[in-house]
Structures are given as structure tokens and as C-alpha cells.
Structure 1
Amino acid sequence: MDRRIVVDVAGKVRRPGIHRLPAGARVADALRAAGGVRPGTDTRTLNRARLLSDGEQVVVGGAAPAGAGAGSAPSDPGGAPGAAAGPVSLNAATAEQLDALPGVGPVLAQHILDYREQNGGFRSVDQLRDVHGIGARRFAELQPLVQP
């Protein structure tokens, strides 16, 4: 069965909108599907290699709406106080960003990074249950705070 995901590519691309991509597609694939980035758009904050998840939004050349799974760099922890940060991407987060999650310290952050490396990333948040050191209680606490 050919599994597909649906992503919303917004911002400074030639054909913004909903695009259907094969499962396992990356931000670079979404940009191609949207006809490419408009000339002069700064894409240095985009992680083009990041795996996409079904239903996510990739915002190019602008700020993502609060709570959106954006294709831009993760929120800057030194940003404005009270700024809404979206879910942390398990596939793009650094050890420091994972460590900042409740109940995750440096050791568990490293376990998450190791799992990501050994398994080619996270296709769903449920895979977090397979990470050494994450039990039912910790998973329930982290589930609303992360995305693949």
C-alpha cells in the first residue's frame, strides 16, 4: 500500500497550499512540491532534511502560527517572554531542546537522540514509548509537547 502524508506549505513559495507526499518525505520534498522557494527568500532557518509528519505545516520565510508544526528552526529559547512555542520536533530537536522538556534530563535526551539515529527518525510520537527510560507516565506528559 502506498502511504501518503498531507502537508500545508505556506509562505514564500511559488504554489502554497496542501500537498500530498509519500510517507518519509522531507521538508525539501515539500518545497519542491510547492514549486520551490521564491527568489530572495532566506531559507537558512529551514531544516530541509527534516522528516515530515502527516498534517503538519511548513512555513517558508515567515513566522509559524502558534502551535503549528513549522518547517522552520525550532523556537529560540531566548525569545520573547511568554512567546508561544509549538511542539518540539523529535526529529529536529537538539539535546538541549529535549532536555528542556518536563521530566527529560540530559541522559534521557541522549536516549531520544540515539533512538532517532538508530531508527531513521520518528514517524509518530507513539514511537517515543520505545525509547529506553520512557514509561507510560512520562509518555503521557510528553505526548502533547512533541511531534515527530
Structure 2
Amino acid sequence: MALRERVPLWVQSRCGLEPRSLAALAVVLVVAAIFAAQHFWAGRPDQVRPPERVREGQAAVKPGPAPGPPPPAPTGPSGPAGPGARIVVDVSGKVRQPGVRRLPAGSRVADALRASGGVKDGANTAGLNRARLLIDGEQVVVGAPAPPSAPAVPGTVGGPAVGGAIAAGPITLSTATVEQLETLPGVGPVLAQHIVDYRTQHGGFRSIGELREVNGIGDRRFADIQPLVRP
């Protein structure tokens, strides 16, 4: 009624406003005013805080994982038989500077002779294989006198002895080379090397019976070798 009284009479008469219609109109106007105020508030500009300046020379560093322990040292090929490994050989006989020599692994007999000052003039090197690979603890004897000839085996005239070996004088186990040991009956390169290894480990042979302790020499083979060797 109060709103109706405020509306001029000519508006009331022209529009034909009833009290109920006037109340509905008032509600519509209030709702419209609320929406207008909400739209105005939502459209106002927001204040944005400017970013902080980064000092010159500083950079954001993302922390990474902590460093782990260093990798283990390589093994296997780079061990005693790998690059840089050395062997020890004993060079004796008719060389200018006999003695123990330390040589790189993979050296040959010729390298050992060169490290010992070379072979003396007039030395007999016919049975010396200069191209043979050396092994650790080996002894190289230069110009060793040839063993004296032994009597031929009964039933043969200067021919092969029992087992196919040429009859020869006693071979000195403590100084014989691998090539000389291979001339014994039933002794090949592997068994000859076993004899040299045993000699190196035990400082030579004190008796012929020690051959029984070498790997690969049984009673039968020892019986064939015994007459042909000496300590």
C-alpha cells in the first residue's frame, strides 16, 4: 500500500496496478538490483602482486640426487694378467749380464736376452727358441753344453729308444729348458711345463725321486724317465 501511494495516480490508472501486481514488480526490481551489484563486484579488477626480483648471479638450482659411492675398481682382465702385468725370469748361461729380469707379460725369449745384454760371442744357441713366450718364474739357460751321448738301447743302432725318444745322456732337471725336457719319453709341452713349475716352486730338484711329485708323472712314466735324468 505504501508503494502504491507513492506511485502517481496517472500511472496507477494507466497501468492498472493491483496491490498484488505491484508487490511482484517490487520483488523483480530487488532481484535485478542484487544481480547488478553481484556482476559489478565480480568484474572489478584484482590486485596482482609483482614477482620478486632475482639477484644477479643467482639461479634456481633444482637439487639433484646425492652422489653415490665411486664405482668399484675393475677386475678380471685388468688384474695380474691384464695390461701392465710383469713377469720375473732368470737368465743364465752365456749372456753378458746374467741375472733375474722383470719383463712385461707376454715377453719372449728374445726380450729376455736383450734385457740381459745379449748373447756372448761364440755361444751356441742352436737349441734356443727365441720366439717362445716366457712364463713367470722361468729360467732361460743360454749356451748350456749338450748332454753327453749315451749308449744305444739294446736292440737298436743309434735309433730311437723305448717310447720313441732318441737315446741321450742324462738331462739336468734343475737347469733343463722346456724344449730339453720334451725330449724325454712321454713328456710333452704341458708335462715339461709342470716340471719347470715344480722346480721354480721348490728351488730345483734335490733327487730324481721328486719327479713322482710332479703332476702327470706316474710310476710307469717315472720308470721310463729315471735313467735319462739327473737332479
> What's the TM-score once normalised by structure 1's chain length?
0.50
Q: Name 2:207's counterpart in structure 1.
A: none
Q: What secondary structure sits across from 2:103 in the alignment?
A: strand
Structure 1 runs of 4+ off > 4 angstroms?
Answer: none
Q: What secondary structure sits across from 2:140 in the alignment?
A: strand
Structure with greater proportional helix content: 2
Q: Distance in 1 between matches of 2:123 and 2:86?
A: 28
- Paired letter, 1:141: G
Alignment partner for residue 60 of structure 1, among 142, 147, 151? Answer: 142
1:27 aligns with 2:102: no
- Paired letter, 2:88: V
Q: What secondary structure sits across from 1:42 in the alignment?
A: coil
Q: What secondary structure sits across from 1:30 in the alignment?
A: helix
Q: Distance in 2 between matches of 1:42 and 1:48?
A: 13
Unaligned runs of 5+ in 2: 1-77, 79-83, 147-164, 195-214, 223-231
Q: Name 2:128's counterpart in structure 1.
A: 46
Q: Name 2:216's counterpart in structure 1.
A: 141
Q: Cα distance 1:101–1:62, how it changes in 2: closer, same or farther (>3 A)?
A: same
Q: Name 1:16's counterpart in structure 2.
A: 98
Q: What percentage of aligned pairs have identical amino acids?
A: 52
> What's the TM-score once normalised by structure 2's chain length?
0.34
Q: Post-superposition shift, 1:11? A: 1.2
Larger radius of gyration: 2
1:5 aligns with 2:87: yes
- Paired letter, 2:167: G
The answer to which structure, 1 or 2, has the higher relative contact order (CA under 8 A, 6+ apart) is: 1
Q: Cα distance 1:14–1:22, how it changes in 2: closer, same or farther (>3 A)?
A: same
Q: Distance in 2 between matches of 1:78 and 1:52?
A: 28
Q: Post-superposition shift, 1:62? A: 1.6
Q: Cα distance 1:24–1:45, how it changes in 2: closer, same or farther (>3 A)?
A: same
Structure with greater proportional strand content: 1
- Paired letter, 1:26: R
